[in-house]
Structure 1
Amino acid sequence: MACLERLYDYNQTRPTEQKRRQQLLHEMFAEIGEGCYLEPPFHANFGGKHVHFGDNIYGNFNLTLVDDTHIYVGSRTMFGPNVTIATASHPILPELRAKGYQYNAPVRIGTNCWIGAGVTILPGITIGNNVVIGAGSIVTKNLPDNVVAYGNPCQVARQVNQHDREYYFKEHRINPSMLDQ
């Protein structure tokens, strides 16, 4: 209950209470790096107690972490609105579900990932570094480094490639000076 009380307090903060939000995140999470920002409302079964965030992570509105066991997220990862990461599930066999059985499997997400709006990541999934997951995807299998993946079920569409070094969106060119920084 103490974890959920802190989560409630976090979600009741005003936009001007950034220091209070940072203090609460440090109390709530197993680990949280510098520069992390989560838009309220934020949801978590254990209030973030089993969540390990690197530096500079951004979570948009309604980030839901079913943190019945550990969730590990590398630095510079961004979550769009309404993303769910689930570590808990239930057996398929009806007799076991009737007895209330549940299992938990940790989720691992690498560094510098972009998880699009409305993505669901299922228990036990590992996502590599530099991965982009398209909006609305349901991630049912592990994803390697440096890929763009989307769909239901989520599948690798392609590798991050030279086109991505030249264009940031469709045919909108990247200013080369942005890469020199």
Structure 2
Amino acid sequence: MTEREKMLAGELYDCGDDELIKQWHKAKDLIREYNNCISSDMNTKNRILDNLLGGKGKNLWITAPFFVDYGNNIYFGNNCEVNMNCTFLDDNKITIGNNALIAPNVQIYTAFHPTNAKDRFGKTKEDGSFEFCKTKTAPVVIGDNVWIGGGAIIMPGVTIGDNVVIGAGSVVTKNIASNKVAYGNPCRVVRENT
């Protein structure tokens, strides 16, 4: 099993793997080009997104700057908007449904590290250095017609159902069922979304 296959399976993997580092650098080059693109140059921006993302529907609008780890693990439905300064750490799949609104400074994480430092870093080398820290992942799924408020953080393994509103500044650590309004740290359902 390759390190990428381990990564997508949610197993402990080495993010310093040559294949992963190559993909990481490709994504960083593409996202730098995207973030420096003329704002009105939609043809260039769409070409970059076609090369960067795992998949996208019609009418995707991402306001620069935008930041990713690999890019190719991110999938958008139709009619989605991502506002400025969002960070998607797509070490596993991030799947976003149709008609999603993602406000500025939203962070979506799929990666996490072992809490035990020995498991995280492995053995120290003779020169005192250590390898890349070990990582695990869990996918994030966001349903249709979801609005995620500014500064929200979506943690690894979270599924957000359809027709959900996540309040600004929330830290979403657990799944949120469809048709809910939720906010807070940790994020909690506060009412139905009718």
Determine helix, strand or coil for the equivalent of 1:43: strand
**Percent identity for Structure 1 against Structure 2:** 40
Matches within 5 A, 1:98-137: 98-99=121-122, 100-137=133-170
Give the counterpart of 1:51 among 74, 92, 99.
74
Q: Is it true that 1:10 corresponds to 2:34 in the alignment?
A: yes
Matches within 5 A, 1:14-163: 14-46=38-70, 48-99=71-122, 100-161=133-194
Please give the per-residue CA displacement for 1:110-135, whole angstroms capped at 9, x wherever unaligned.
00100000000000000000000000
CA apart distance, 1:69: 1.2
Runs of 4+ in structure 1 deviating by more than 6 angstroms, as ranges, are none
Please give the per-residue CA displacement for 1:82-120, whole angstroms capped at 9, x wherever unaligned.
000000001112221232221011100000100000000
Higher RCO (CA < 8 A, seq sep 6+): 2
Determine helix, strand or coil for the equivalent of 1:7: helix
Please give the per-residue CA displacement for 1:135-154, whole angstroms capped at 9, x wherever unaligned.
00000000000000000000
Q: CA RMSD in A?
A: 0.8
1:164 maps to what in 2? none
For the residues of structure 1 that align with 2:107 and 2:161, how far apart are their CA atoms?
A: 18
Please give the per-residue CA displacement for 1:39-70, whole angstroms capped at 9, x wherever unaligned.
00000011x11101001110000111001111
**Matched residues, number:** 160
For the residues of structure 2 that align with 1:78 and 1:103, how far apart are their CA atoms?
A: 28
1:105 corresponds to which letter in structure 2?
Answer: A
Structure 2 residue runs without a partner (length 5+): 1-24, 123-132
1:18 corresponds to which letter in structure 2?
Answer: M
Taking structure 1 as the reference length, what is the TM-score of the superposition?
Answer: 0.86
For the residues of structure 2 that align with 1:4 and 1:98, how far apart are their CA atoms?
A: 24
Structure 1 residue runs without a partner (length 5+): 162-181
